[in-house]
Structure 1
Amino acid sequence: SGNYIILPSSTPSLQIGDFHQGGIIFYILQLGDIGYVAGQVHGLIAATLDQSSGAEWGCYGTAISGADGTAIGTGNQNTIDMEAGCTTPGTAADICANLTLGGNNDWFLPSKDELNAMYLNIGQGSALGNIGGFANLYYWSSTECGATCASGLNLTNGGVSNLNKNQANSVRAVRAFQIY
């Protein structure tokens, strides 16, 4: 007979492809990424379904100040800038910013690199297969390339294109998560 000390279980190990906090984990932040904190797990989650298959990026002819971040970690700020600079309802960013899904209301339109990570990790470009259930269509990113265009990604082949903002394309919302 002896004394036993029961230790709390460690934080569960999360992996790309796991369902977590209302969506599918598609990226775990790494050293050098915006928002990375050593010793903590931060990442990005994609909604399990498309929010639209025919939304415009919006405000064709108007450059949106600040909505030009491309890197992982810039999609949320791009979306905030899009909402501030383009008040048209029903745009790609507006759909994401006003989404409540899985009890969460902090969804945003992914940046170009965030969208590419979705393609590579849970889309057609993934070793896991298309577990994100993406259609063979263009999806909007929150990365603007000018007054008349924004970046979109073809989720069939991973091709990035600058698309006219008044085109109707698909939308998949994402959100950030963290565990300590």
Structure 2
Amino acid sequence: MKKLYTFLAVLLMTASTFAQTPEKMSYQAVVRDSGDNLVSSQPVGMQISILRTTATGTAVYVETQTPTTNVNGLVTLEIGTGTVVSGDFTTIDWSTSSYFIKTETDPTGGSSYTITGTSQLLSVPYALHAKTVKQPTYNVNTFYAELGGYVIEVNSVGSHGLVVAMQDQGASYWYEANDLLSNASNHDYNGKKFKDWRLPTKRELNLMYLVYDNGNGATLNANYYWSSTEYRSNDAWFQHFDVGLQDEGNKLNINHVRAVRAF
């Protein structure tokens, strides 16, 4: 009977579910006693171990918890929030190895664990895995081939921002500017692989002037460039890259187009 009891427990543990949350992992299991009866509405003692590489591998993290089962014998807990026995859940490098969860359970609520089950984490929760994957850092005023252009803005950690294309995409009416971008044949090789080039907003156009153009017409042509920001139904904002002036103009005017894309 004892072997059958343990085997059933392992199957139940393997069927438990996981959900991603920052710094913790949801876990559920059904607890039964030696008579195969549900252990309902009572505390159970549990020790949870994260094992590396194999089902018998080194425990990189161990904690204990005393959750209470519901009327159906289901116990739900958050791994990473229990009483720590060893290790640090927040420093596990999920990207470097396979991991297994070992659970040891005492249906009476103590620490005399009689149910043991081990199951592999086949898919590490994304929020946990993402913490251990090194993100590239980008700088303003720099060309990056992998981004297809010149970075003119980044966030506080340099992981995301805005890129300006290395060539003008031509000149057109405001109404046709986006068509010009989507059909552009004069992007450089790296820029061609991206399909999300667009007109810059009024703010982004000025940023292009201040950062990429150095505010003096040294890089871009000393011409008028369209923004995507409308002024009213027949007018849109543009900027003169000789002096940096922004103004509104009729959408049927012909101005230059220079694309940007977010990364």
Instruction: Say what the alpha-carbon RMSD is for the aligned residues.
Output: 2.6
Q: Deviations over 1:83-115 (max 9, x none)?
A: xxxxxxxx1122224447341111010000000
Over the matched positions of the two proteins, sequence identity in percent amounts to 37
Q: Deviations over 1:126-157 (max 9, x none)?
A: 7xx83xx3100000000011121000011111
- 2:193 paired with 1:51: no
Give the equivalent residue in structure 2 for 1:105: 195
Give the equivalent residue in structure 1 for 2:220: 134
Separation in structure 1 between the aligned mates of residue 155 and residue 135 of structure 2, nearest angstrom: 16
Q: Within 5 Å, give how 1:44-123 maps onto structure 2.
A: 44-52=162-170, 54-58=171-175, 91-99=176-184, 101-123=191-213
Separation in structure 1 between the aligned mates of residue 202 and residue 224 of structure 2, nearest angstrom: 12
Q: Residue 41 of structure 1: SS of its match in structure 2? A: coil
Separation in structure 1 between the aligned mates of residue 253 and residue 155 of structure 2, nearest angstrom: 31
Give the AA of the match of 1:94: D
When the two structures are superposed, what TM-score results if normalisation uses the length of structure 1? 0.62
| Cα gap change, 1:18 to 1:40, in 2 (>3 Å) | closer
List runs of 5+ in structure 1 lacking aligned partners.
1-7, 31-38, 59-90
Separation in structure 2 between the aligned mates of residue 102 and residue 166 of structure 1, nearest angstrom: 27
**Total equivalences in the alignment:** 126
Decide which structure has greater strand share: 2
Structure with larger RCO (C-alpha < 8 A, sep 6+): 1
**Greater C-alpha Rg:** 2
When the two structures are superposed, what TM-score results if normalisation uses the length of structure 2? 0.44
